[in-house]
Amino acid sequence: MSFTSPLPKTTLVYKTTKEGLDIHIDVWAPKSASPIGGDKRPAFVFFHGGGLAVGARNVWIPEWLFTRLTNKGYLFISADYRLIPPCTGYDIRDDVKDLWAYITNPSLKLSFPEGDETTKELQIDPDAIAIGGSSAGGYCAYLTAMHCKSPKPKALVEIYGLGGQIFSSFYLSPKSSAFTTQSLEWIDPSSPHYTPYQHPYPTPPPTLSQSHPTYAGPDHPLGPAYPSNPRMQLVWLYLQQATLLDYITGSHSPSFSAQMRAAVGLPASAGTAASETVVASPSAQDAVVKAVESGFAGADAKAHFRELFPQFNITKGEWPPTVFLHGKEDTGLPVADSEHMFRLLKAKDVPREMYRVEGEEHSFDYKEGVEDVWGPVFDAVVKFVDKHTLPEAKA
């Protein structure tokens, strides 16, 4: 399941928490010579998916993105970050800020002992770093765009990214049916597999910065792909219960999600199909944003809006140029999230492109044969990165 590449790689600790947890990055040397000359290289920072609750820096890396960028001379950096629960979006925010400080430090030198003479020691050009992520990793990339501005990322790649429109039934309404294309079944919250991960915790789960996916194997009644690591099902459980935003914000009592659902008038129950997603009216959204600024739901809600959710934090000249890639039939994360962020960027005149992929579900870009179908779209995404990260390269 781990991602492998013949390119030289080094693993570094970018942060040690006060509890002594080391958090790592993997850095792969580029395949081609530097497009900017010398030992400095452009870099792309990638954040893995997994619902913020599972995953690691060496899994779920899109081969199409890795290959195209390293072929163009980019260092490819894949980062771990702390997982929910027990951590929250605030911990992940702190991790991406510390990661950014680490990789933009001009004294950082990357050693690749297994490389050839051209890759044994390289440096990152801090003025040529792009970022991106898939699904929950897209949320981490949004946090980077929000909080890392000196220097700011040159481009942002959102691959069906989480967190672009919180005022929808996907996040705020309890579900009436299972995410059958994702979790395979209705998840029983009373199962002993999942009770340790539900607030209030019987015993707080351990703080982790990686949790590898594992699968049940051929004898499981729901098939060999059924997740055996319970963390793989947590995002679907939280979305069933409409509590994911509670775990991201850390606001359980009262529930941040329940407060927002009531305030914008979303239904108390909703389906999981892409066509069943309900988005609150623009007037209801605007009213809640103004109310939160005036004190509705307390100081915590105001901090959540400011610190954790990208839709409230787009500023012209500060937000990086952004390209979106999203399947139109995505039930794992509605395309409405990306479309909403695209509209907000357009209103602020931020450079942006949007690729809605016809007929595709969540994680479509990991399927066998996907290059034959969507290769030109992948080319366009990387061309956008090049255009804004290396304007002199005339991508």
* In contact, 161 and 135? CB cutoff 8 Å: yes
Q: Which of 98-107, 215-224, 257-266, 288-297 has the lowest mean pLDDT?
A: 215-224
Instruction: Among 52-61, 111-120, 183-192, 334-343, name the one with the lowest average pLDDT.
Output: 111-120
Q: Residue 233 has what DSSP assignment? A: G
Q: Give 323-341 pLDDT, tens digit per residue.
A: 999 999 999 999 999 999 9
Q: What is the pLDDT of residue 394?
A: 41
- What is the band of 216 on the pLDDT scale with cuts at 50, 70, 90? confident
206 or 217: which leads in pLDDT: 206
Average of per-residue pLDDT across 232-245: 97
Residue in this structure with the two tokens 């066509």, named with its chain if needed: 275
The answer for residues whose C-beta is within 8 angstroms of residue 201's C-beta and 6 or more apart is: 85, 86
Q: Cis peptide leading into 151, omega within 30 of 0? A: yes
Helix (H), strand (E), coil (C) string for 279-299:
ECCHHHHHHHHHHHHCCCCHH
Query: Is 321 in contact with 352 (CB distance < 8 Å)?
Result: yes
Q: What is the phi-psi region of residue 38: left when phi exceeds 0, alpha when psi lies from -120 to 50, beta otherwise?
A: left
For residues 227-251, give the mean pLDDT.
97
How much is the pTM?
0.96
pLDDT over 70 at 117, yes or no: no
- Give the pLDDT score at 159: 98
Residue 226 has pLDDT above 90, yes or no: no
Q: What SS3 class is residue 131?
A: strand
pLDDT over 90 for what percent of the chain? Answer: 87
Q: What percent of the chain has pLDDT over 70?
A: 96
Higher pLDDT, 297 or 378: 378
pLDDT at 391: 73
Q: Measure Cα distances from 26 to 2, 119, 134, 278 in Å.
A: 12, 15, 17, 39
Nearest CA among 225, 166, 172, 91 for reference residue 233: 225
What per-residue confidence (pLDDT) applies to 241?
A: 98
Mean pLDDT of 12-17: 98
Distance (Å) of CA 251 to CA 63, 126, 178, 241, 362: 37, 35, 25, 15, 28
Q: Give the pLDDT score at 33.
A: 72
250 sits in the region (left: phi over 0; alpha: psi -120 to 50; else beta) called left
Note the pLDDT tens digit of each residue in 161-211.
999 999 999 999 999 999 877 767 899 999 999 999 999 999 999 999 999
Backbone CA torsion sign across 343, 159, 379, 151: positive
Cβ-based burial of 191 (10 A; exposed 0-12, middle 13-18, buried ≥19): exposed
Model confidence at 7: pLDDT above 60: yes
Mean pLDDT over 363-386 rounds to 97
pLDDT of the residue at 275: 86
Tens of pLDDT, residue by residue over 135-170, are 999 999 999 999 999 999 999 999 999 999 999 999
Instruction: Report the C-alpha gap between 199 and 197 in whole angstroms.
Output: 7
Is 90 exceeded by the pLDDT of residue 393?
no
* Rounded distance between C-alpha atoms, residue 317 and residue 181, angstroms: 39
The residue type at 377: V
Radius of gyration of the chain (CA): 20
How many beta carbons lie within 10 A of that of residue 223, not counting itself?
Answer: 12
The per-residue pLDDT of the chain, averaged, comes to: 94
What pLDDT score was predicted for residue 119? 62
Could you tell me if 40 and 106 are in contact, meaning their C-beta atoms sit under 8 angstroms apart?
no
Q: What is the per-residue pLDDT for 273?
A: 86
Q: Which residue has the higher pLDDT, 37 or 45?
A: 45
E strand or H helix that includes residue 249: helix 244-249
| Whether residue 392 has pLDDT greater than 80 | no
The residue type of 175 is K
Instruction: Please report the pLDDT score of residue 113 as a whole number.
Output: 75
